[in-house]
Amino acid sequence: MSAPAIQTNWELADEVFGILLHAWRNKLPPYDNVVRVQGPKIIPKTFPWGSTEHARFLKLSCFYMKGKIDSGTALIALSQLYDREQWMFEPESFEHLNGNSSELRSRVFDSLSKNGLSFDALNVSGHWVHNMHKLARHWDGNPVLFYKNAETYEDLCKILFRRGKRTGPEEPHGFFGFRHKMASMLTWFFEDAGIVKPPPYPVPVDFHILRDLVSTGILYVDSTQPGTALSINRLSREARILTLKYCQNNSVETLELADALWNLSREFCRDSPSNASSIAEKYEARRTRITEKIVRWSKTEETRYFRTCGRCPIEKKCQWAIPSANYYVQGLVVIRGKRQKPLDLFDQSGISLPFVPSLEKKPPHSEKEEKVNDLEQVEMFN
């Protein structure tokens, strides 16, 4: 039986995106305390903003803009690595490999491992050497040249994606770690830094973006109900189409829409009580047990709710709880059920009452909840 088609509610998207963009532009919750991972608070001060060195750093940072790692922490470590081991970021170090890269790979591996970037260091070190070699050999060490050769987003994808045999060192095209999300991510970073004026492109679609779109019902299937599991690939494709068209039709910069969508899920939704889970310590790949954390509306849960959903600009549009656990463990977006609200938020008719809490600090988390939050952090834009 074929999976039900993913559908898009364009009117709702217009409404929700409009509300979020307004909040983003005016630094309203959830955007009042956002620290952007690609911003000047994190990026090294030792190269000029907008320089070729900056562009190379941003391209390498894409290795860490993915699931199962906290992107902000990784980019701080990468910035420190830049200041300690600049040779790793210079194309000259990789230009004359002549096919034998094992020594260089192990130097890169050691440097990553010793500088707080041991996560997936074996793969990253190989990809790092391959990509830097290709950049040095075919692109004058300058990733901004990709955009001189790309009139459209599709052109850019052709340059970046690895496809069949067109990936070896002789070929200018094909970089490890780049599919649609990273093509958008790189473009987003470059546009944000004022490095390029890119062709129209979709937001970098990851779990956070999909959670926003599915929890509101902007992306849906006819039979949507608790337990519905949706394919990431199909959802992602529809999310790219939607965000690209929305930006083009409304003269909105992808830059802004990506910031608004991504930061909503990272700042608020991941701490929403309805999205919490715990995962069995016994690892069994996609069969690893995921347990829903039943919301009992303890003081902690209420406080969490008031700090997140209770201050969310699209609270009235958001219907479904979408935990991250199923995405990272099973590779699915699963609709857990209706997003829950504390009972005292309702009057007799079930209509939610306004609540504007003033909570400066996050409450301390229990050890179990901390585990859950770690899981929620595992991605950007992943």
Q: Residues interacting with ligand SF4, by CB under 6 A?
A: 215, 264, 268-269, 272, 308-309, 312, 314-315, 318, 339
CB closer to ligand SF4, 81 vs 261: 261
Can you tell me the distance from the alpha carbon of 376 to that of 372, in angstroms, rounded to the nearest whole number? 6
Q: Cβ 206 to ligand SF4, closest distance in Å?
A: 15
Report the run of H or E that residue 125 belongs to, with start and end. helix 121-138
Q: Cβ 116 to ligand SF4, closest distance in Å?
A: 30
Q: Cβ 322 to ligand SF4, closest distance in Å?
A: 8
Count the neighbouring beta carbons within 10 Å of the beta carbon of residue 12: 16
Q: Cβ 30 to ligand SF4, closest distance in Å?
A: 7
Q: What angle do CA 57, 58, 64 make, to 5 degrees?
A: 100
Can you tell me the distance from the alpha carbon of 86 to that of 82, in angstroms, rounded to the nearest whole number? 5
CB closer to ligand SF4, 131 vs 382: 382
Can you tell me the distance from the alpha carbon of 8 to that of 1, in angstroms, rounded to the nearest whole number? 22
Q: Cβ 355 to ligand SF4, closest distance in Å?
A: 12
- Return the CA Rg of the chain: 21
Burial class (CB in 10 A: 0-12, 13-18, 19+), 323: buried
Q: Cβ 268 to ligand SF4, closest distance in Å?
A: 4
- Please say whether the beta carbons of 216 and 18 come within 8 A: no
CB closer to ligand SF4, 193 vs 309: 309
Beta bridge partners of 346: 352
Q: Cβ 269 to ligand SF4, closest distance in Å?
A: 3
Alpha carbon distances (Å) from 237 to 56, 216, 234: 28, 18, 5
Q: Residue type at 329?
A: V
Closest listed residue to residue 96, CA positions, set 124, 126, 60, 137: 137
Q: Cβ 345 to ligand SF4, closest distance in Å?
A: 12
Q: Cβ 274 to ligand SF4, closest distance in Å?
A: 7
CB closer to ligand SF4, 82 vs 268: 268
Query: What is the 3 state secondary structure string of 5-65?
Result: CCEECHHHHHHHHHHHHHHHHCCCCCCCCCCCCCCCCCCCCCCCCCCHHHHHHHHHHHHHC
Q: Which tokens belong to 33?
A: 């305390």
Q: Cβ 339 to ligand SF4, closest distance in Å?
A: 6
Name the DSSP letter for residue 252. Answer: -
CB closer to ligand SF4, 117 vs 269: 269
Q: What angle do CA 209, 211, 216 make, to 5 degrees?
A: 105
Closest listed residue to residue 379, CA positions, set 188, 247, 210: 210
Alpha carbon distances (Å) from 364 to 29, 103, 311, 370: 20, 46, 19, 9
